[in-house]
Structure 1
Amino acid sequence: MPSSDLPAEIDALWAGREDLGPVDTDARDTVVAAIDLLDRGAARVAWVDPGSDRVVVDERARRAILLSFRLLEVAESTAGPFRHHDRIPLKRDFPGVRVVPGAIARWGSHHEPGVVLMPSFTNIGGFVGAGTLVDTWATVGSCAQIGRNVHLAGGVGIGGVLEPPTAVPVVVEDDCFVGSRSLVVEGARVRTGAKLGAGVVLTGSTRVYDAETGDELPRGEAPPWSVCVGATRPRTYGGGTFGMSCLLVIKRLEPGEVHDKLALDLLFRLHGEAE
């Protein structure tokens, strides 16, 4: 396990989790304190290690979240006239964050200053970086990690993951754009500066191709500083040949290039017309 900002007592509680319940007040206090650290951004479930470029998962943080479902009782919480009944309360502290009416975030998620939350949902363990816009009806799943200056467009679904223990959360790195109604799930990774067109489905096993060269790229990843759209590739089965979903890289951007959104939209549209 990598170095963790959460107390080692979480590991002992995890080992004896089958015997825990809401009556175990000391255990509950330990877990609540741990998730408070996630809520404040003092700890994270996952991050990209700058040395290895690999996604590192703090299993102790994920264990704390799972333990909370055992140790917390269902309780009523309110947001204006709305009443909720859940084990996990709503998030209450949003320093420097614009929260539009209808936005929902659970305690244990963190949003850096400068984030804008349109009517959307952020689950426990989720992290959203500064300057990011989570647009209308977008969802940031449990433990998903969203970088800075990202735009998650309307209806985007960023998958969550709490179990199995070996699963890696979805990571969307800095300066990315994820188009409307796209789905990024199963530990997929959108690397720095990548732009995804509307309706893309990117999973951890999605095959990725370069449109200019035909080369196959690492699966489950949108390459850095690339413009990508959803496409299909033929695959033959006993019953015939079918189109299987894939990700197609149609353009490469210069690192750090700020792409005009109108030009980007035109590029996506032209690709659709060409098909």
Structure 2
Amino acid sequence: MTTSFTSPLPQDIDALWERRTELTPDHTEARATIVGAVDELDAGKARVAFVDPATDEVVVDERAKRAILLSFKVLAMEESAIGSFNYHDRIPLKSRLEGVRVVPGAIARWGAYLAPGVVMMPSFVNFGAWVGSGTMVDTWATVGSCAQVGENVHLSGGVGVGGVLEPPQAAPVVIENDAFLGSRSMVVEGARVRTGAKLGAGTILTSSTRVFDAETGDELPRGEAPAWSVCVTANRVKSFPGGDFGLPCLLVLKRLHEGEEHDKLAMNALLREHGVNA
């Protein structure tokens, strides 16, 4: 991991973290510092994680995660209402929505960044998440806390992108640019979907999921959907004292050309050939 990264958030956050057990909403100076830091996340001026272009590794801003956790200490529970819907929470809903299409029923919390060009169908984007321009968060999709979703991504209906706040060292889920996640796919535990990867419907990817190439049988890095590939959930037989059992894995069905446009009809045909839908 790169060592040159410096958080854009104030160092005061680290000092407040050391005395977090004593913080309450009555600590007005601490609250102002923490709210200001989270507001930087909300505006997209800071983010919890990003891919370092020099090393191709995920860099996590631990100070940003600390600011998010500290906000639960210094923000009081408050009641709010939107129409006939009543809420009681510490974290308000997001109000910065310039250039974002938010369909009725969609919810984004303050501290999440939505770039101009994002479309939110009735869905949920949680605290500290980052969603890039041109991305569609489709119906009932969920973007978990601190998850990082790139540009021109399609999160199909019911997709679950897992969140992470604790332990502090844990890396969030990263969905890179131009990815496509088929309906009801789940990407959790800091797993990574690399640029241009396409996941078939119902695909499950965790940080410990084993990944195999269908053409060669080679095992690839765990917890990652390779760039410019079409992937599905499969099973690999493993022998135990009690018998042979199929354990889930990620199977790379096809490699795409770098930058290849997503042809949904072609991908549907490929997936249906193997008994999967997009």
Q: Is the shorter-chain TM-score for this pair beyond 0.5, marking a shared fold?
A: yes
- 1:257 and 1:234 map into 2 onto residues whose CA distance is 33
Partner of 2:165: 162
- Provide the residue aligned with 1:30 in structure 2: 33
Q: Hey, what does 2:207 align to over in structure 1?
A: 204
CA distance in 2, matches of 1:167, 1:51: 21
Matched, 1:116 2:119: yes
Distance 1:77 1:6 in 2: 29
| Structure 1 runs, 4 residues or longer, greater than 3 Å off | none
Q: Which deviates further from its counterpart, 181-190 or 77-86?
A: 77-86
Kindly indicate whether the alpha-carbon contact (under 8 Å) linking 1:77 and 1:90 is maintained by their aligned counterparts in 2.
no
Report the Cα distance in structure 2 between the residues aligned to 1:259 and 1:154, rounded to whole angstroms.
Answer: 17
The alpha carbon displacement at 1:138 in A equals 0.3
CA deviations 1:197-242 (Å, max 9, x no partner) are 0001000010000000000000000000000011000011121111
Gaps of 5+ in 2: none
Q: Which residue of 1 aligns with 2:56?
A: 53
Gaps of 5+ in 1: none
Which of 128, 140, 153 does residue 150 from structure 1 map onto?
Answer: 153
| Percent of residue pairs bearing the same amino acid type | 68
**Cα separation, 2, equivalents of 1:37 and 1:55:** 20
CA RMSD, Structure 1 to Structure 2 (Å): 0.9
Give the secondary-structure state (helix, strand or coil) at the position aligned to 1:84: strand
Number of the residue aligned with 1:175: 178
2:232 aligned with 1:229, yes or no? yes
Give the paired residue count. Answer: 273
In 2: Cα distance, 1:80 partner to 1:49 partner:
43
In the other structure, the counterpart of 1:189 is 192
Shift of 1:80: 2.6
Among 71, 74, 81, which residue is 2:84 paired with? 81
Cα distance in 2, alignment partners of residues 191 and 160 from structure 1: 17
Partner of 2:23: 20
What corresponds to 1:7 in structure 2?
A: 10
Q: Distance in 1 between matches of 2:198 and 2:262?
A: 9
In the alignment, which of 98, 101, 105 is matched to residue 104 of structure 2?
A: 101
1:222 partner letter: A
Q: Which residue of 1 aligns with 2:74?
A: 71
How far apart are the structure 2 equivalents of 1:85 and 1:106? 13
SS at match of 2:275: helix
